[in-house]
Structure 1
Amino acid sequence: MSEQTAVPAADEHARVEQAAREAEPPRSAWSRVLDSGAGRNLGLVAVLVLLVIVGVATADTFLTTANLLTVLTQASIIGVLTVGVTFVIIGGGIDLSVGKVMALASVWATTVATQSYGPVVMIFCAIAVGVGAGLVNGLLIAYGRIVPFIVTLAMLISAQGLAERISGRRSQIVTDPVIAGIANTRLLGIPLLVYIFAAVVAVGWVVLNRTTFGRRTFAIGGNPEAARLAGLDVKRHTIGLYVVSGLCCGIAAIMIASLTTTGSSTHGTLYELDAIAAVIIGGTLLSGGRGTLIGSILGVLVFTTITNLFVLNNLATEVQNIAKGAIIVVAVLIQARAQRSSATG
């Protein structure tokens, strides 16, 4: 009797869904474009163009070569962190620890003992610290089954404390000329930091869009249980995502140590929020399974340009934060609309 009633119930459910689809007004081609990854990226480009117009109208020095290179240099460090955060969020996770893991890596790489071995050891130490922190995050999340928010929040606090312990809450001066010279080196007039940023983005884009690792990242972020049933090793891949994020922290640590000529526990304060915000306005879903690296980088450029405009116009920092918060809210509302549209076909 139960089987006989189950069939009509299933038919009724199918009829209800069909009626709902038919009742939904048809979406225009323009609406479908706006809801696509390319459409969102074009929207961010339009925002950047608008910010440039505002900059030209309000600050005479905005379009100068020196200022534009300043914007790119400022975007480079957070941009590298954002690449790692993009992987994690597309994979269905979150990483709140990137700013302070970067600080810890910068401190470890600039101790007197580490610097005595030269630039290769300094770079190795920074990357090892970042990868190690990412590995710990991934193991606790994948095998400890702890919520990513809690694990990475704990890592943020621990990394901050360890960085303060190692440095004695003092800035450690970079004495190695090779590391100190990275930020001052220019190729064709463009700072080397920008080239490093571009290289990380290029490698990240290829991995995310042209490799099995990238395809599995989207699959696991979209539906981890379905990915597991399809034969994917979800736990191992989750660890890999956090290791990628940690690797980006290590690279960013060398960049910020060179730019500031110091390793300090104060580096990276609130960088994790800037990186996550850039990923969100770039169109990546916080629930995972969808996003673009190019969108995240455009998000970084939007926020960096806004900061630059506020500095050039001597506007208060609190107003700048309000503007950033409003942008994030609007981006999330647009995401919610896109999800509803895609769900209804």
Structure 2
Amino acid sequence: MTQSTTPAGHGTPATPLAPVPAGKSAAHRPPGLRPDVRTLSLLGVLAVLVAVGGVTRPDEFLSVSNLQLVLTQASVIGVVTVGMTFVITSGGIDLSVGAIVALASVWATTVATQEYGFAGILFTAVAVGLGCGLVNGLLIAYGGMVPFIATLAMFASARGLALQITDGKTQIVTVESVLDLGVKDAYVLGIPPLVLVFAAVTLVGWLLFNRTTFGRRTVAVGGNAEATRLAGIDVRRQRLYLYLLSGLCCGIAAFLLIVLAGSGQNTNGNLYELDAIAAAIIGGTLLSGGRGTVVGSVLGVLVFTTITNLFALNNLESAVQQIAKGAIIVAAVLVQHRALRGD
């Protein structure tokens, strides 16, 4: 007998289930790996990487200062990845995140901006991120542009504007209250302030994604935008909010990068878009939309950052590092496809 069902949280209309082959029930064909399995798998990968680091460079890799460095380096791209997770889950993409980080960082470190001190730098970085996110959202949600094209245009424009502002030069930060956040005296119980900000963004992102209507609507839009619209949800407004959220995360990441580097450069955020997308994918977020996980994305960031750190400590070529990252991405996508087919 044919049944009808609606996947929970996706907002898709009831559709007939395909006949289930003998000996295989529908319960044995989940739409992807369970969240706990994905999380445990990524934790297992991290454990292996830590073990490798402990064997190859025990004194350097397992030192407190190196672990602090790994978490600090993960903080900037991690904040960007949280915003990217929401966008990809909705069925979109944002290729401009790296360029937005660059633009926000150089705009916030101009001489005129630094005259307003800590508050001026922070406000400018966040405002520029939100402004770029607003433009992306309006073009995609209300202008009908494909996300790939709209964010690619923003990528080119933001990079060009960042280069024009700096004239190709590095802008040194002279505001002591900003620079002080990067020194060890500012650490809280041995934890760098940048890591605390990353943890706070992750927590807020998790709550927003898993415990609010906003998160459920994001999944619904990615699962079936037309059905979501027919259910009475304003899909265009939701998409606008998502790109605003991505821009906000870019603005916060730009400020963290300013603290970390002590300067603003037009080359900041190079390839951040690829790293954020890759981290989200290996974390379990579907590139086609309809499913995402903030925790998985953050673990993906930690995996990539740990790999980078291991390669640096072992003096291995960056080319090999990129090959390893590429292999991990391919493996993650293959696992997703296999799980979705229920093989």
TM-score calculated relative to the size of structure 1: 0.91
CA distance 1:296–1:16, shift in 2 (3 Å): closer
CA distance 1:16–1:34, shift in 2 (3 Å): closer
Is the partner of 1:17 in helix, strand or coil? coil
Amino acid at match of 2:86: F
The residue that corresponds to 1:113 in the other structure is 112
How far did 1:125 drift? 0.8
CA distance in 1, matches of 2:220, 2:56: 45
Does the alignment pair 1:137 with 2:155?
Answer: no
Whether contact under 8 Å (1:174, 1:180) holds in the other structure is yes
How far did 1:33 drift? 11
The residue that corresponds to 1:6 in the other structure is none
Structure 1: segments with no counterpart, 5+ residues: 1-13
Whether contact under 8 Å (1:47, 1:302) holds in the other structure is yes
CA distance in 2, matches of 1:260, 1:167: 16
Q: How does 1:151-300 map to 2 (within 5 A)?
A: 151-184=150-183, 185-300=186-301
The residue that corresponds to 1:77 in the other structure is 76
Whether contact under 8 Å (1:80, 1:248) holds in the other structure is yes
Q: Percent identity, aligned pairs only?
A: 60
How far did 1:122 drift? 1.3
How far did 1:201 drift? 0.4
Whether contact under 8 Å (1:33, 1:39) holds in the other structure is no
> How many residue pairs end up in the alignment?
326
CA distance in 2, matches of 1:216, 1:28: 25
CA distance 1:283–1:111, shift in 2 (3 Å): same
Amino acid at match of 2:46: L
How far did 1:64 drift? 1.1
The residue that corresponds to 1:5 in the other structure is none
How far did 1:16 drift? 10
Is the partner of 2:21 in helix, strand or coil? helix
Whether contact under 8 Å (1:37, 1:291) holds in the other structure is no
**What is the RMSD of the two structures over their aligned residues, measured on CA atoms?**
1.9
The residue that corresponds to 1:327 in the other structure is 328
Is the partner of 1:291 in helix, strand or coil? coil
The counterpart of 1:46, out of the listed 23, 44, 47, is 44
Q: Deviations over 1:213-272 (max 9, x none)?
A: 111111111110000000000000100000000000000111101111001101010011
Amino acid at match of 2:175: D
CA distance in 1, matches of 2:155, 2:34: 34
Whether contact under 8 Å (1:85, 1:279) holds in the other structure is yes
Whether contact under 8 Å (1:134, 1:244) holds in the other structure is yes
Amino acid at match of 1:43: S
How far did 1:327 drift? 0.3
CA distance 1:237–1:72, shift in 2 (3 Å): same
CA distance in 2, matches of 1:190, 1:218: 33
Amino acid at match of 1:35: L
The residue that corresponds to 2:6 in the other structure is none
CA distance in 2, matches of 1:220, 1:275: 21
How far did 1:23 drift? 3.8
Query: Structure 1 stretch 116-125 or stretch 294-303: which is displaced more?
Result: 116-125
Is the partner of 1:22 in helix, strand or coil? coil
CA distance in 1, matches of 2:136, 2:333: 26
Q: How does 1:305-344 map to 2 (within 5 A)?
A: 305-341=306-342
How far did 1:22 drift? 2.4
CA distance 1:24–1:137, shift in 2 (3 Å): farther
Amino acid at match of 2:48: L
Whether contact under 8 Å (1:34, 1:40) holds in the other structure is no
Amino acid at match of 1:257: I
How far did 1:27 drift? 8.1
CA distance in 2, matches of 1:303, 1:283: 15
CA distance in 2, matches of 1:308, 1:73: 12
How far did 1:17 drift? 3.3
Q: Which has the higher helix share?
A: 1
CA distance 1:63–1:288, shift in 2 (3 Å): same
How far did 1:285 drift? 0.2
The residue that corresponds to 1:149 in the other structure is 148
How far did 1:34 drift? 7.9
Query: Structure 1 stretch 35-44 or stretch 177-186: which is displaced more?
Result: 177-186
CA distance in 1, matches of 2:47, 2:71: 15
How far did 1:120 drift? 0.8
Structure 2: segments with no counterpart, 5+ residues: 1-14
